[in-house]
Chains A and B, each alone.
Chain A
Amino acid sequence: MEEIKELFLKLSKEKGVRYGELRIEESEITSISFRGKELEELSVSKSRGGNIRILGRYGWGFVSFNEINYKSIRDYFEQAYSASNLILGEDLDIEYSGPTVDRVIIPMEKDFREIPLEEKKRLLSEYNDIMLNFSPKIQSTQIRYSDRFSRRYFINTEGVDVVQERGDIAGVLVAIAKEGDLVEQYHYSIGGINGFQVIEGLHNEALHTAEMAVKLLSAPVIKGGEYTVVLDPRLAGVFIHEAFGHLSEADHVYENEKLRELMVIGKRFGPDFLNVVDDPTYQGLRGSYKYDDEGILARKTYLIKDGILVGRLHSRETAKKMGESITGNARAINYRFQPIVRMSNTYIEPRNYSFEELISDIKYGIYAVGAYGGQTSMEMFTFSAQEGYIIENGKIADLVRDVVLTGNVFVTLQNIEGIANDLRFSQGGGCGKGGQSPLPVSTGSPHIRIRNVVIGGR
């Protein structure tokens, strides 16, 4: 590895490269899945690859590869260098950070690499059996689990030399219930970066997953309309990720004059009790890291403070172009991709209300719980709940299903009426952008209440 690094720096110097990066990544993944009572997959995979990115005068040359040796690196360097010189146009500059040498190891309490395959399989099959045996209405189940240990080497021409190691577990438990022609499902996301113990002791969650799948069979489809909604922390986290998080990624904004005007720092986006944060330094979440994939030290960034837009997420390039502070949010899902501006752990800060206070004066509304996912086009966004409950005269009433909500960034955030005191993070999230999916991110929020939210329905 050392001689590969030296070669890269020597070649960069010879060519007078203004800025260049070399990333090399090694990873090992174990995947286990069940489908119904059958073990569906048990496999191991190993990967080694890297990339070189070179900044030319007007743009980037990038090469990714699997073959890593003295000769190939020379060729790939040449490819990236000549690609960077093929680009003509406007001058492009980036933010520089200065030299850093570091080795970062995120410790695992129970290192999953030391747990035998048999034991991983046994634990998952316990959860599977709990779901399968819950009720005759449980038609089938699905469990997906993968653990991935990765080591990322990063060096650049300004003297950054960082190695980061981490273990990441991601997965899901799914219960499928059936009655007549009706098929319903419910899922529970599992995962984390602190070791195998994060997926131990989830027997109650498995039971709840099966129970909900069965309950949904008798729940009616929600009636479409505009509602006052209360979102649980999981869905509220996805909401803020979609509703505002993506729009605060500077690469959407920096080259778009009109969007820059709409997203000007100091503009009000929400009520004065709304604070939104992105924080990769928050410990122990799947979106946590010390250095981003441009070698920038991660830091906490306020996106919205007291309802006002105060910051956004940057790469070296977008920070320079916009004249704002770099934030360390350039990330790539793996060595095949260039780093782009991404969120890390994005959350709404807690306030004073209890959940009961939040719903107490709602005459008719929806309590939306859990998250299937969400999507945004910047202005409009959607987010889907796993289940909904009618709120009637301040009380939680009947279960409803197929609850998909939509909003508009210029309206919906202003319609937030209350934020509770019970901040919780979700670990399971994977975010997609620019063909790079899933990137480990976490979202968090207390319960929040929003008025006039459009929910689709038949």
Chain B
Amino acid sequence: MEELVKRLKTESIEGDIFSRRGTSVVVTFEANKLKSIESSESSGTGLRILIDNKIGYASQYGIYEPDWLLEKAKATANIETKMQLPSDISIKEEVYDSALEDIQIESLTKLGRNIIDKILSSYPDVICNVEIGKDKGETLIVNTRGVDCTRKKVSLVVGIHVNRIKGTDMLDVYEETVVKRLENLDIDKLISKIFYSLESSENIVKPSKSRLPVVFTPKAVYVLLLPLMSALSGKILLMGASPLQDKVGEKFFDEKFTLIDDPSNHEGLSMTSFDDEGTPTRVLSLVDSGVVGEFYFDLHTASLLGKEPNGHGFRGGLGQPSPGLTNLVINPGDSDLKDILSSFEEILVVDQMMGVGQGNILSGEFSVNIHLGFLYRKGEVVGRVKDSMLAGNAYNALGNIAGLSREREWIEGSLYSPYICIPELTVVSKG
């Protein structure tokens, strides 16, 4: 990397070099049996240059040819920008739990075996697929203005999928957890959620009416958040396509709704003090008590909009930076989940959905299949709702919230959310 930075400097070209290296191990259990053990080593480098206020970009996986990178970056320098690279930042960030780092393949297979045995001992007629992966990654960003930052991370992901078939009725329950510290791994909690879903699905039921209150579990909250996550991106703002662009400072959502993006959250998988462009990150207040707050930017997008960068330029793989989020956190409410459930005559709890994001996300409209949902009457679960569609508009839903639970859960290490209750949505069921 250093030679390449030197070369850029001798040619008086500004630019940054981004590289990733990673190793991972994945053990996969299929139909209750250990099926494969997988490991991976990867490395790659991306070069971005600025020539006459134009961006050029080239990247390589598995090969490192500085001449090729520089030549292609020059050849692609077409994108006009006003961005300035950050300068003089040197951070070495290590989020490393040695207990997790040292965990061996044998321990992972044993963990998987234990999970399956526990599930089968209570539910011998189900089929379990379990995937456990350990991921170690190192990210490096250097530029010609004295940025030199590295980030090292190790994480463990445990995914459990349980399938139960009765007649032609199929039930699939998915639970997943990602941790950065081994001590935070709570397998019993995952299993108890699976047991709860299995127990609650014994009967298939239908809501008595088509408009009813709905609780979104933390896992299901994404269907409401996706439109906001998109609308608050600097890219959508730049296109003039954000429904929130002229709502900043206005109370657009329910006052119970507060959403931040928190790169400093220690439990979040994406905790970092600098983004993938070397800009220091900071907490963003996206929605504060219903009032629309900040948008998020990478350097280039911020420059086009004439805004201050806010440390949210992230890269997928070795792609160019674009506006991205880290750890989304929604403020809890003041009621227990069970009190929310028992305060309605009949209420639907949605946990898994199909078709999320397949539609016009910008408008906030959603229409999804209830893949896993439960009906409660007077606070007691009466069964599973299936072959049904749930539809609504995310902006309207978050504009009128009946309640948020005190309990919160981490989803995929990137969203910390309570259960959210919307007073009325439409469910269409089969005949």
Binding site for B on A (CB under 8 A): 35-36, 38-49, 58-68, 79, 83-84, 86-90, 117, 121, 139-140, 142, 176, 178, 181-185, 221, 224-226, 255-256, 258-259, 262, 336, 338, 372-384, 401-402, 404, 406, 408, 410-411, 452, 454-458
Contact = CB atoms under 8 A, between A and B. Distances in A.
Contacts of A456: 367-369, 389-391, 426, 428
A38 B304 contact: yes
Interface of B is mostly: strand
B103 interface: no
Contact of B78 (A39, A382, A384, A457): A39
Interface stretch (B29-37, B85-93, B189-197, B343-351): B29-37
A272 B242 CA distance: 49
B40 A377 contact: no
A278 B306 CA distance: 52
Contacts of B240: 36, 139-140, 178
B426 to A, nearest CB: 5
A409 to B, nearest CB: 9
B248 interface: no
A408 B58 CA distance: 46
Interface in B22-53: 30-31, 33-44, 46
B389 A66 contact: no
A59 B168 CA distance: 30
Contacts of B37: 59-62, 83-84, 86-87
Contacts of B61: 45-49, 66
A300 to B, nearest CB: 28
Interface in B210-249: 210, 235, 238-241, 243
Given A401-B365, A456-B426, A457-B426, 4 more contacts: A49-B62, A58-B34, A176-B362, A224-B367
Contact of A384 (B105, B241, B355, B386): B355
Nearest to A72: B41
A36 B33 CA distance: 51
A121 to B, nearest CB: 7
22 contacts: A35-B238, A39-B80, A40-B79, A44-B58, A58-B34, A66-B42, A68-B62, A117-B78, A183-B243, A185-B362, A256-B163, A259-B165, A377-B170, A379-B169, A380-B371, A383-B355, A402-B359, A402-B365, A406-B387, A456-B367, A456-B390, A458-B426
A338 B38 contact: yes
B159 to A, nearest CB: 10
Contact of B38 (A40, A83, A89, A406): A83
B36 A60 contact: yes
Top-5 shortest CB links A-B: A456-B389, A66-B62, A255-B31, A456-B367, A140-B239
A39 to B, nearest CB: 5
Contacts of A47: 44, 60-63
Interface in B314-346: 318-320
B290 interface: no
B60 A45 contact: yes
B389 A404 contact: yes
Contacts of B354: 375-377, 380-382, 406
A190 B58 CA distance: 24
B273 interface: no
Interface string B84-125: 000000000000000000000110010000000000000000
Given A42-B78, A256-B31, A455 B428 contact: yes
Nearest to A317: B35
Nearest to B361: A185
Nearest to A87: B34
Interface stretch (B10-18, B68-76, B406-414): B68-76
Given A44-B58, A224-B389, A401-B360, A83 B105 contact: yes
A146 B170 CA distance: 39
Contacts of B398: none
B219 to A, nearest CB: 15
Contacts of A378: 170, 172
A454 B426 contact: no
B333 to A, nearest CB: 25
A129 B365 CA distance: 28
Contacts of B285: none
A377 B387 CA distance: 11
Most buried by A among B46, B56, B355: B355
A404 B362 contact: no
B201 interface: no
B379 interface: no
Contacts of B58: 43-46
A83 B170 CA distance: 33
Contact of A404 (B79, B106, B368): B368
Interface in B182-213: 210
Contacts of A59: 33-37
A209 B57 CA distance: 30
A375 B358 CA distance: 9
Given A35-B235, A458-B393, A183 B34 contact: no
Interface in B353-391: 354-355, 358-360, 362-363, 365, 367-369, 371, 386-391
B158 interface: no
A60 B33 CA distance: 12
Contact of A406 (B60, B363, B369, B431): B369
Given A41-B79, A178-B240, A226 B430 contact: yes
B360 A382 contact: no
Given A373-B358, A379-B168, A458 B391 contact: yes
B76 A117 contact: yes
Q: Which of A44, A61, A68 counts the most B-chain CB atoms under 10 A from its CB?
A: A44
B140 to A, nearest CB: 16
B59 interface: yes
A225 B428 contact: yes
Contacts of A255: 30-31, 33, 127
B387 A380 contact: yes
Nearest to A90: B33
A368 B76 CA distance: 41
Contacts of A68: 62
B392 interface: yes
A258 B59 contact: no
A67 B41 contact: yes
A31 B192 CA distance: 46
B429 interface: yes
A226 to B, nearest CB: 6
Nearest to A47: B61
B39 to A, nearest CB: 5
Nearest to A29: B59
B320 A336 contact: no
A47 B428 CA distance: 47
A211 to B, nearest CB: 16
A40 B61 CA distance: 22
